[in-house]
Amino acid sequence: MKKKSKLKLQNNNNNNGQELIKIENILNKMKTTLYYSENLSRLTALKELQMEEDNDPFKILIGTILSARSRDENTSKIVRKLFQKYKNVIELANADLNDIKSIIHSIGFYNTKSERIKQVSKIIVEKFHGIVPNEIEDLLGLPGVGRKTANCVLVYAFNKPAIPVDIHVHRISNRIGIVKTQNAKKTEEELIKIIDKEYWLVLNNIFVMYGQNICLPIRPKCQICNLKDICNFYINQQNN
Ligand code: SF4
């Protein structure tokens, strides 16, 4: 007999009458799996930065730009190194581009990222009086800042509810079956409809940790995953 997903909607709705999913159950199951696989202690780069830098919006913005398509361990190390030399936005705006490149050269796409962080710093100094804006429209107006980066800054720097969707959030949401989407933008649009706002601030960090440690892009560790009974990807594999 074919197994079926037990993923059910909650009884409560959002303001638009859309049914919400039981995200608390999913997050708890992820945390339990991470805990027993001894991976809970490994924080994501942005969580680490948020804790170390006391939610400093500028460092979190630069850290998010640097983290794109880069390993977390490397990102944290480079961000620390960069801010050892440049203490604030004005220093980074006036920095020599080649110096920035030499500091971040071990990170992927370091040429483009060096230019971006210098441009972004200059705009923040000139247009925003040295203060990182906390509105999504302003953040999206900065060069190289897309929705994921802007939403990360809102969540990790300003504690403003948003759902940053990176490759992990997109992949896991689709595998479990809470969305059925082709790209990150669509995933964000769907998730904000079906997830209680109360959980938006924590979702990215837990999903990213899960994607880095358990629900890997290739060969996910389904055998130790507590989401097996509700995950469409797993259930479909068992049925084939
Ligand atoms: S059962 Fe497998 S595919 Fe589904 S969430 Fe867990 S690790 Fe990912």
Each domain of the chain, given as residue ranges in start order, spans: 10-41+162-239, 56-158
C-alpha to C-alpha distance for 237 and 46, rounded to whole angstroms:
33
pLDDT higher than 90, residue 55? no
C-alpha to C-alpha distance for 199 and 8, rounded to whole angstroms:
17
C-alpha to C-alpha distance for 171 and 42, rounded to whole angstroms:
20
Higher pLDDT, residue 223 or 75: 223
Q: How far is CA 146 from the centre of its chain?
A: 12
DSSP state of 98: H
Confidence of residue 9 (pLDDT cuts 50, 70, 90): low
Query: pLDDT digit string (tens) for 145-156?
Result: 999 999 999 999
* CA 210 – ligand 1 centroid, Å: 9
Quick one: pLDDT at residue 7?
60
pLDDT higher than 90, residue 175? yes
The protein residue with its alpha carbon nearest to ligand 1, atom 4, reads 231
For ligand 1, say whether the CB of 215 is within 6 Å of any of its atoms: yes
What is the percentage of the chain residues whose pLDDT exceeds 90?
73
What is the percentage of the chain residues whose pLDDT exceeds 70?
88
**Under CATH, what is the fold of the domain 10-41+162-239?**
Endonuclease Iii, domain 2 (1.10.1670)
Query: pLDDT digit string (tens) for 59-96?
Result: 999 999 998 877 766 788 898 899 999 999 999 999 99
C-alpha to C-alpha distance for 142 and 117, rounded to whole angstroms:
10
Quick one: pLDDT at residue 120?
98
**Under CATH, what is the fold of the domain 56-158?**
Endonuclease III; domain 1 (1.10.340)
Q: Which atom of ligand 1 is nearest to the CA of 226?
A: 6
Burial letters for 44-83: b for 16+ Cβ neighbours within 10 Å, e otherwise? Answer: bbbbbbbeebeebbbbbbbbbbbbbebebebbbebbeebb
- Intra-chain end-to-end CA distance of the chain, in Å: 12
